[in-house]
Structure 1
Amino acid sequence: MSETTTGVIHDIGYQRYTGPRLGRAYGVRSLYTHSLRTAFGLGRGLKAKLFPWAVVAIVTLAATFIAALESQTGEQLSTYPEFVDAMGFVVMLLLASVGPELLTRDLRARVLVLYFARPVRRDDYVFAKYAALVSAVFLLLGGPQVIMFLGDAFSVDGVGEFRDAVLALLGGWLYTVLFAFVMSAVTLMIASFTSRRAFAAGGIVAVFMMTLPVGGALSVLGGTPGNLAGLVNPAWVVTGVGAWLSDHESPVDIGGTGPVYAVAAVAIVVACLAVLLARYRKVEQ
C-alpha cells in the first residue's frame, strides 16, 4: 500500500515591490555617507568615537593655539601647509585606525557579495571608500585652518591684506587636498590586502614611518640622488610638490626636481587606486 503526497501552494500575500528604485547613484552616495560617518565613529558606540574625536580635538586645539598666538604677537607662526605637515604624525595614526576600519570589517564579515549585488559595482565600492577617507582627512585638517584664517582675518589692515589671507587659505586647502589624496590612496591599498585590522594598521604605520629614516639617509648623498630622497615617503612627496609650487619648506632639498615630485604624487594615487580596483575585481568572486 503506497501513500501519495501532493504539494500545496499557500497564498501568503506576496507582492512585487512597486516603490521607487533609487538606483546605483543612491547606493554609492549611501556607501560614501556611511563610510564617512564610520571614519568619525558616528552611529557607533562610545569606544569607536574616542580616538577619532581625540584626534579632532588635538588638531583643533593646535590651530586655536596658533591663531591666538598670532593675534597676540602679530607674527605668522605657521603657514597652512606647515600646519598640515606638523599634524602629519597625528593624521597618520588616524589613517592607521580608520583605513582598516573601512575595509577589513567587510572582508572579515564576507559581506562584499551583498554590496556587489546590483546596482552597486565593485569600482563604485572602491571610489566611495576612497572619497570618504579623503573627505575625512580634509575635514580634519581643513576645518581647523578656518580657525587660523579667522585669527588672520581679524588682524588684517585693508581689503588687500584680507584678499591675501583668503588666497593663503585656499592655497592651504589645495595643499590639504593633495595630502589627503596621496595618503588616503596608500592607506586603503595597504588595508585591502588583509582582513585583520591589526595587520593592516601595522602595515600602514610601517610604510609611513619606516621610510622616514631611509629618506633621511638618502638625502645626505647630495646632488640629484639627495634631491630625490623624499620620493621614498608619501608625505615627503606632498611636501616636495608644495616646495616646488611655493616657498614651502620641505624636509629634503628638492633642488630642481619639483616636477618629478608632482609626477610621483599623481603616480602614487593612480597606482594605488589601480591596485585597489584590481583587488576588488577578484575578491569574493
Structure 2
Amino acid sequence: MSSPAGVIHDIGYQRYEGARLGRRDVFLALYTQSLRTVFGLGRNFKAKIFPWFVVGVAAIVGIVVMAIRAQTGEVIMKYAEYPQYLSTLMVLFVAIAGPELVSRDLHSGVLPLYFSRPLRPADYALAKLAALATGVVLVWGGGQILIFIGAAFSVKGFGNVMNELADAGLGIIYTALYAVVFASIAILVASLLKRRAVAAAAIVGTFLVTTPVMGVLFILPSQTARELAQMVNPATLVGGVGDWLFEPTDAQAEVSIGSFGPLYALVTVLLVALCVTLLLRRYRKVSQS
C-alpha cells in the first residue's frame, strides 16, 4: 500500500470572521480616497503642488477681502462674486484633478478589480464625481468663509451678522452649483481618455471652445442674442444662473441675461443630467468590455 504523496501543513491561516462591509461602505471608501486624491494626499510631492497652489490662491484672495472688509468695512467682493471671479482657476483645478481621478485607473487597467467587488460601475462614476465636486466646494467655500469672518467683525449687531451668514450660505450654494457643473464635465471628458495630459487639455478645451461663439453672439445687433450668449459656455452659463438667483443685473447693462434666468437654470440642470447620464453609460460599457 503506497503512502500519501503530499502533506497538508497548518501554517496558521484563519477564516475572516469580522464584519463584511457592503456596497455602501465600498462607495464611501472610494469617495474618501478619491477626495484625498483631489488634493494629492497620500501621493508624492509633485501630486500636491498644483491642488495646494490653488488652495493657496483661493485662501489669499479670501484673506485680502476679509482684511479689507474688517479694517474699512468696504465690500470689494460679494460672496456670489467669489466663484465667478475665480472661475478660470476652477476650470484649471478640475482639469488637473479630473484625470487624476479617472484617467489613471483607465490607463492602469484596474477597473475590473474595482468591479469585482460589490461596487457597481455607477457607484464608481458617482463616487469620483462627488469627490471632485466636494473638493471644489471645500476650496472655494473655504474662501467664502474667510470673507464672512471679515464681515462678521465689520458689521454691528447680531442681526447683521446673521444676514451676512445667510448671504455666505447662499454664496456657498452658488459655489456648489459651479462645482457640480464643472465636475460633471471634467469627469465625463476624463473618462473618455486614458492619458492624463491629453484629458486635462481636453477639459480646458471643452470650456474654451465655445468662447468664440459667445463672442459672436455678443456683437450681434439682436438684444435677445446677447442675453442668450452666455448660455453657450459652461462657466458663463452658471454665471447667468447666479445673476438670476443672487446678483440680478440691470437689463440695460452691457452683459445681461434679461428675463431668461429660468431658461439658464433649466439648461444648467439639463447639462448636468446629460453629463451624468453619459458618464454612467461610459462606465457601464467599460465594465462589459
Q: Under a length normalisation based on structure 2, what TM-score does the superposition of the two structures give? A: 0.92
2:121 and 2:287 in contact (8 A); partners too: no
2:226 aligned partner: 226
- Runs (4 or more) in structure 1 with deviation over 4 Å come to 6-9, 11-15, 248-251
2:35 and 2:131 in contact (8 A); partners too: yes
1:84 aligned partner: 83
Residues 26-37 of structure 1 correspond to what in structure 2 (within 5 A)?
26-37=25-36
Distance (Å, rounded) in 2 between the aligned partners of 1:37 and 1:179: 20
Distance (Å, rounded) in 2 between the aligned partners of 1:42 and 1:171: 29
1:273 aligned partner: 276
Q: How far does residue 85 in structure 1 lie from its aligned partner after superposition?
A: 0.8
1:81 and 1:248 in contact (8 A); partners too: no
Q: Cα 1:202–1:11, aligned 2, differ >3 Å: closer, same or farther?
A: same
Q: Under a length normalisation based on structure 1, what TM-score does the superposition of the two structures give? A: 0.93
Distance (Å, rounded) in 2 between the aligned partners of 1:54 and 1:144: 14
1:24 aligned partner: 23
2:108 aligned partner: 109
Distance (Å, rounded) in 1 between the aligned partners of 2:245 and 2:144: 20
Residues 130-209 of structure 1 correspond to what in structure 2 (within 5 A)?
130-209=129-208
Q: How far does residue 211 in structure 1 lie from its aligned partner after superposition?
A: 1.9
Which amino acid in 1 is paired with 2:28?
A: R
Which amino acid in 2 is paired with 1:166?
A: L
Distance (Å, rounded) in 1 between the aligned partners of 2:51 and 2:64: 20
Distance (Å, rounded) in 1 between the aligned partners of 2:68 and 2:110: 50
Give the SS at the match of 2:80: helix
Provide structure 2 residue ranges, at least 5 long, that are not aligned to the other structure. Answer: none
Residue 42 (structure 1) aligned with residue 41 (structure 2): yes
Q: How far does residue 111 in structure 1 lie from its aligned partner after superposition?
A: 0.4
Q: How far does residue 80 in structure 1 lie from its aligned partner after superposition?
A: 1.1
Q: Which moved more, 1:153-162 or 1:52-61?
A: 153-162
2:55 and 2:139 in contact (8 A); partners too: yes
Distance (Å, rounded) in 1 between the aligned partners of 2:116 and 2:140: 35
Provide structure 1 residue ranges, at least 5 long, that are not aligned to the other structure. Answer: 1-5
**C-alpha offsets along residues 75-103 of structure 1, whole Å, 9 cap, x if unaligned?**
11011111111111111111111000000
Alignment RMSD, CA only?
1.9
Which amino acid in 1 is paired with 2:271?
A: I
Q: How far does residue 163 in structure 1 lie from its aligned partner after superposition?
A: 1.7
2:240 aligned partner: 240
1:210 aligned partner: 209
Which amino acid in 1 is paired with 2:239?
A: T
Q: Which moved more, 1:18-27 or 1:40-49?
A: 18-27
Residue 255 (structure 1) aligned with residue 277 (structure 2): no
Identity %: 45
Q: How far does residue 72 in structure 1 lie from its aligned partner after superposition?
A: 2.5
Distance (Å, rounded) in 2 between the aligned partners of 1:122 and 1:147: 38
